[in-house]
Every structure is written in structure tokens, then in C-alpha cells.
Amino acid sequence: MKKILITGGAGFIGSHVVRLFVNKYPNYQVYNLDKLTYAGNLANLTDVEQKSNYHFIKADITDGPLLLELFEKHDFDSVIHLAAESHVDRSIANPMEFIMANIVGTVNLLNAVRHQWKNDFEGKRFYHISTDEVYGSLGHTGFFTEQTAYDPHSPYSASKASSDHLVRAYHDTYNLPVVISNCSNNYGPNQFPEKLIPLIINNIRNSKPLPVYGKGLNVRDWLYVVDHARAIDVIFHKGADGETYNIGGHNEWKNIDIVRLVCQIMDEKLDRKDGTSEQLITYVKDRAGHDLRYAIDASKLQRELNWTPSLQFEEGIRKTIDWYLENQTWLDEVTSGNYLKYYEQQYQKR
Ligand code: NAD
Ligand code: TYD
């Protein structure tokens, strides 16, 4: 029996983690704490919301006193912390929101946990979910390992790096039982269409230009979101206190190649003539401080905890496209209102 607080559970990755834990562990009580920002959406969880071991708390992690109250009331024995502002372009436009949610929010949670657990750490765990972007940018060769020095370049990655350091500091200073994982780019159902893959799918659907930054030669290492949730499950249960685990798909793609692949599959699915969607590709001004390449060495996780990705990219990307085409109401809902304002500010000025 566990009482787990999952923060950011209404977001993209968080909703897959909540679903996995609620279904796989009926004897755990899962509390999803989320502020429901533009990226948080309870429609991501309709299939689990009626389960008796699932609970939702609408709260903001930047509110320290509220977190103390919630810990007092529910006495959580574990935390899986995913709540964050997560989009690099938004962090360039508005860094302070990232400082507040990602740094201050994380410290508030650490303080609440410390206050509640005192020095009794038996059966306790604070699991911080982070990104490979903290390691900075690679050249054309090499991989990020757990020993790679932090070298973040965007306000987003700098805020995540900062939160990772604080989580480690609370382990080293107060013996808090923490574990951290740093994962590569995720893709899959429920990702907000500000990120590359769902943005391209949505724009092809609407026959809108497909904005590719710079020359499209930046490389990302893509992992299917359900495989990330599986890794989180394994690390939460078997990872060692104080350790860091890199998670990645060994699946590097240049942006332009991904965009072309999505175009090709979408033409097929939408019964459009081969080559139709590629005509929408539009090269736009590069992102400031754009990291050239991310690639993860996940061999520690494989060696020590026996995790490997379950899905090949060709299968994962087709499943993802199918999900978006079958859930066009979801897409229409999240791309109305504020999304349109964001889109205009982000892309029309280019
Ligand atoms: P997301 O933007 O889809 O979801 C973030 C969630 O956090 C949303 O539900 C939002 O409402 C919630 N949230 C934001 N600020 C909050 C606050 N102040 N209080 C409470 N809730 C708040 O993000 P995601 O892509 O699912 O990423 C989840 C986590 O995984 C983040 O910590 C991110 O840094 C990390 N991560 C993401 C990726 C990726 O490719 N998306 C890769 C590696 C790591
Ligand atoms: P993104 O999905 O924002 O993830 P991250 O920046 O965290 O890696 O972007 C993935 C890659 O795609 C990145 O190199 C930037 C690029 N990109 C575009 O070319 N056009 C776009 O409209 C977006 C959102 C991203």
C-alpha cells in the first residue's frame, strides 16, 4: 500500500505515468496534483478518473504553504515530480514562469517532503523527472552519460538543471531519499501541439505551413512516451537512492527527416497524393541558442535495472499519428483560444 503524489499528472508524460500506476497498482492510492496550465488537460485521463485509487488535486506547486497543508492532510509516502513548464520556445519568450514552476516549485515540494517525513525515510521516495537537455548540446558524435557535465543553454534547460542540483543537494544535505532520471525527447498520444511532432501532424491536417527551424539539421533522440512511463515505473521501484538514470531510445533523427516521414505517413492516411504534405515545409528563422544534437547513453538503466524501449520508432510514429487522427476533437479543443495567440506570436513574427 502506497500513497503516491504525482505532480503534473494532467500533462503529456504525467498522464501516461498516472494511467500506468493506477492500472498496474490497484493497491496504491495515486494523487494527481496539477495546476491545469494550458498544457494540463483532464481529458487526458478520462479512462482512469472513475477508479477508486485515483484522486485529483488542483494546486500550484509555487504555493509552498498549500503544499505543506496537503502533505499534512494526505501524508504521501512518495512523490513522482513531473510538473513543470516544458517548452523551450515559451521559456525564451517568458523565462520567469520557468524559474517559478521548475525551480521554486521543486524546492517547495522538497521542503514539504522534508517537513512531513522528518528523518523517517523508511519506504519513502522523492523521484524527480528531468530532461537530457540539462547536458547541453553534442557535436556530431558521442552520447550523454550520467557523468556528462551540465551545460544548459535555454532558460528551460537551465531551470531543469537548477532543479536537478537542488534535488541532489537535499539528498546530500538532508539525506532525503531521492532519485532522478534524465530522458530524451518524448513523442506519442496527448502531447501538446506546440512540440515538433504533434505540431507537424496538426498543421498537415489543416494544410498549414510546417515551420522547420534553421536548416532542419538539429538531431533529437526520440522515445515513445509509454516507454518513458515504463522506465519511470522501474526506476521508482528499483532505482537506488541518490542515483541518476539516463533514459533514451537510441533513436536519433534530424528534424527534417522526421518532418518528411510524418508528411509521407499523413499523405497515406489522409488519402492525399504522395508529396502533398512535403510542399508545406517552410524553413523559418532558427531558435535562439538552438542545441545541435541530443543523444542519450541509456546503458546504465539497461544494465542495472533491465529496461529497454519496447517500441521501434516506425511503429511508434504510426501509432501516434493514428491517435491524433482518431482524436481530432482533443486536438481542436487544445488548439483553440490561447493556443492561437501563442501560435501567432511564435510563428508570425518569423
Ligand atoms: P507538459 O507541459 O505536457 O505537462 C506539464 C504539466 O505540469 C501540465 O499538466 C501542467 O498543468 C503542470 N504544471 C505546470 N506548472 C505547474 C505548477 N506550477 N503547479 C502544478 N502543476 C503545474 O510536460 P511534459 O512534456 O509532460 O513533461 C513532464 C516532465 O517531464 C517535465 O518535468 C519535463 O521537464 C520532463 N521531460 C519532458 C520531456 C519531453 O520530451 N516532453 C523529456 C524529458 C523530460
Ligand atoms: P521540441 O519539440 O520543441 O523539443 P525540444 O526543443 O525540447 O527538443 O523541438 C524538437 C526539435 O524540433 C528542436 O530541434 C526544435 C525543432 N522545431 C522546429 O524545427 N520547428 C518547430 O515548430 C518546433 C516547435 C520545433
Does the predicted TM-score (pTM) go above 0.95?
A: yes
Please name each of the domains of the chain with its CATH number: 3-187+222-247 (3.40.50.720), 196-219+252-288+313-346 (3.90.25.10)
Q: Which ligand lies nearest to the CA atom of residue 15 in the structure?
A: 1
Substitution site in 137, 208, 255 for ligand 2 pocket (most atoms within 8 Å of beta carbon):
255
Q: What's the CA gap between 188 and 227, in Å, rounded?
A: 10
Judge whether residue 350 has pLDDT over 70. Answer: no
Average pLDDT over every residue of 264-292 = 97
Report pLDDT digits (tens) over 198-232.
999 999 999 999 999 999 999 999 999 999 999 99
Q: Of 34, 77, 89, 132, which one is the catalytic site residue?
A: 132
Report pLDDT digits (tens) over 172-191.
999 999 999 999 999 999 99
Provide φ and ψ at 145, rounded to 5°. Answer: -110, 175
Q: Write down the mean pLDDT value for the chain.
A: 97
Judge whether residue 348 has pLDDT over 90. Answer: no
Q: Is the dihedral of CA 144, 145, 150, 154 positive or negative?
A: positive
User: What letters, b where the CB count within 10 A reaches 16 and e where it falls short, cover 185-195?
Assistant: bbbbbbbbbbb
Report pLDDT digits (tens) over 99-143.
999 999 999 999 999 999 999 999 999 999 999 999 999 999 999
**255 contacts 227 by C-beta, under 8 angstroms:** no
- Model confidence at 317, pLDDT cuts 50, 70, 90, reads very high
Judge whether residue 349 has pLDDT over 70. Answer: no
Report pLDDT digits (tens) over 165-174.
999 999 999 9
Substitution site in 58, 82, 144 for ligand 1 pocket (most atoms within 8 Å of beta carbon):
82
CA of 74 to the centre of ligand 1 (A): 23
What confidence score (pLDDT) does residue 1 get? 84
Provide φ and ψ at 136, rounded to 5°. Answer: 90, -140
Angle at 284 between CA 316 and CA 157, to 5 degrees: 60
Instruction: Look up 150 and say whether it is catalytic.
Output: no
